[in-house]
Amino acid sequence: MEQADEAAVALAQAGDEDAFRSLVERHSRAIFRLAFRMTGNEQDAEDVVQEAFLRAHQRLRQFESRANFGTWLHRVAVNCALDFMRVRRRHESGREEIDSVGADGTRPLPSEDPAPDRLVFGAEVQQRVAGVLAGLAPKERAAFVLRHFEEMSIEEISRTMGVQADAAKNSIFRAVRKLRKELEPMVTR
Amino acid sequence: MKHIDAEQLILYYYGERDETENRAAVETHLAVCRLCRGEYEVLARTLAAVSSLPIPDRAATYGEEVWQRLAPRLRDRDASSAPNDTGRKPAPQSRWLDFFAWPRLALGGALAALLVAAFLAGRYWQGPKSPAAPAPEPVSAQARDRVLLSAVADHMERSEILLRELENAGEGGGRQIDISLQREQAQELAAGSRLYEQAAQQAGETGISNLLDDLNRVLLTVAHSPSTVSRAELVELRSRIEGPGILFKLQVVNSGIEQRLKPAPERPGPSSVQD
């Protein structure tokens, strides 16, 4: 795929629309998976996919031919998703802060804690996972998704997100701590 | 015997490269310590549960569908930058792209203005004078400050990403570097920066207000740069960004804000417990 990408990128950089189309067709599913894991919402993920390819097209001339196009595109998509999550969070938090911020400044997780006897491992665990992920800060979620699902090293994550390695590491730690806190009662039953 | 802390277990689980040397030590410890083995099992089960999260399926033709939606937008963008527009109806944009699209400048400023107005109104509005009229539930000063801090942190983070992008722009590329996107983003951010600075000043956040002032100067420098710059011009632009040490200051102040916005401390894990 890398060789095919290399040739297509060279042509697309010269303005060949079909070449860019082949790149879009080849990478769309992977970018959708990443976007869905980052945003947790199908429609939002579709928007991130569109924006990622728009930005990629606009910045294609900045892309170095010796780099890996897939990696570069992932980086563009991660930043689109982060931008998206920040905007969404700002809107939600602005509303929530004024409407219902708790005395201790914490925000409740989206899903309620069901009684242990009603838990069914499977759908409910997934629902809880989605709830915890939705409650993570954008940086925490992005770093965690890149580590857990995309299997990037902390070094790669820090480069992709443009943050220090320690910041990426701490974001992952925070995300895992929150997931563990919420999921432990379910996974240890 | 020293136990393995929660963070080391996470790095071990993911097989982080810089932890390779410690792997053997962790494995040896896990083989003999029931407590740490139990912790690791819970961690592994938790993360396995996360992996079970389903992803909506996309057909093999999905790439083609993405292209069908994307192509008209690429053509419209090209047409809108050309001197003679054909008058073709623009392709539908996505919801959040609409939010970010033209006029970025006005929107960025308007959002900041709304926030600042809400913040100042909350700070100075004393509520209805008549005792007969029921007063609405006032927003607490703490909640208001959190709204401001959260918005400022967001603004700083976006600015930091933009400036870092400029630092990495054009590496190994051609002679001319297209920074039009960064330029547009700088225009949008600069529009909000001044208003955030004003709100921070009103809130008595002098440190943040001074930093926003410095940031605004840097953003305006980027916003007033040409869309395409030569390598030498880019070096000059970077030196103007790096000159006031703005990236370092942004990191320091933002991390301070994050600390202030942090919720109450969570239950401590099993870190470094001594037997």
* pLDDT, tens only, B145-201: 777 787 888 788 888 878 877 776 665 556 677 777 778 888 888 877 788 888 888
CATH architecture for segment(s) A1-105 = Orthogonal Bundle (1.10)
**What is the tens place of the pLDDT at every residue in A7-55?**
899 999 998 999 999 999 999 999 999 999 999 999 999 999 999 999 9
* Least confident stretch, B32-41, B44-53, B237-246: B237-246
Q: Do B52 and A129 touch (CB under 8 A)?
A: yes
Q: Rounded CA gap, B160 and B218, in Å?
A: 11
Query: What values do phi and psi take at B178, rounded to 5?
Result: -85, 115
**Mean pLDDT for the stretch of residues B65-83:** 80
Mean pLDDT for all residues in chain B? 73
**In the prediction, which pLDDT does B118 show?**
58
Q: What is the distance in angstroms between the Cα of A184 and the nearest Cα belonging to chain B?
A: 7
Q: Backbone phi, then psi, for B150, in 5-degree steps?
A: -65, -40
pLDDT on residue B47: 93
CB pairs under 8 A between A and B: 184
Per-residue confidence band for A187, with pLDDT thresholds at 50, 70 and 90:
confident
C-beta atoms of A153 and B154 within 8 A:
no
Contact with chain A for residue B157, Cβ under 8 A: yes
Check pLDDT > 80 for residue B219.
Answer: yes
Instruction: Look at A129 and B94 and tell me if their CB atoms are within 8 Å.
Output: no
- The SS3 call for residue A80 is helix
CA distance B158 to chain A (A): 8
Measure the CA–CA gap between A62 and A76, rounded to whole angstroms: 12
> Mean per-residue pLDDT for A154-172?
88
Q: Output the pTM of the full model.
A: 0.59
* pLDDT at B43 (0 to 100): 94
Which chain B residues contact residue A98 at CB under 8 A? 139, 143, 147
B74: chain A residues, CB-CB within 8 Å: 17, 20, 54, 57
Whether B43 contacts chain A with CB within 8 A: yes
Residue B266 has pLDDT above 70, yes or no: no
Interface contact flag, A42 B263, Cβ < 8 Å:
no
Give tens-digit pLDDT for B112-155: 655 665 555 555 444 444 444 455 555 566 777 777 787 888 78
Q: Out of B139, B154, B165, whose CB is closest to A86? A: B154
Name the least confident of B6-10, B166-170, B212-216, B248-252: B166-170
Interface of B with A in 256-275 (CB under 8 A): 261, 263-264, 266-267, 269
B123: Cβ contacts below 8 Å, ≥ 6 apart: B141, B144, B202, B203
Chain B contact set for A104 (CB, 8 A): 263-264
**What architecture is domain A109-189?**
Orthogonal Bundle (1.10)
Closest approach of B78 to chain A, Cα-based (Å) = 10
pLDDT digits (tens, 9 = 90+) for A104-149: 444 444 444 444 444 445 678 888 899 999 989 888 999 999 999 9
Residue B62 has pLDDT above 60, yes or no: yes
Please name the residue that has the structure tokens 């201790």.
Answer: A104
**What pLDDT band is residue B59 in, cutting at 50, 70 and 90?**
very high
Report chain B's C-alpha Rg in angstroms.
26
Cβ count near B84 (within 10 Å): 6
Residue ranges of the domains in chain A?
A: 1-105, 109-189
User: Between chains, do A188 and B58 touch, taking CB under 8 Å as contact?
Assistant: no
Interchain proximity A53–B160, CB inside 8 Å: no
**Which of A36, A42, A62 is nearest residue B173 as measured by Cβ atoms?**
A62
Give the rounded distance of the alpha carbon of B163 from its chain centre.
12
**The pLDDT of residue A110:** 43
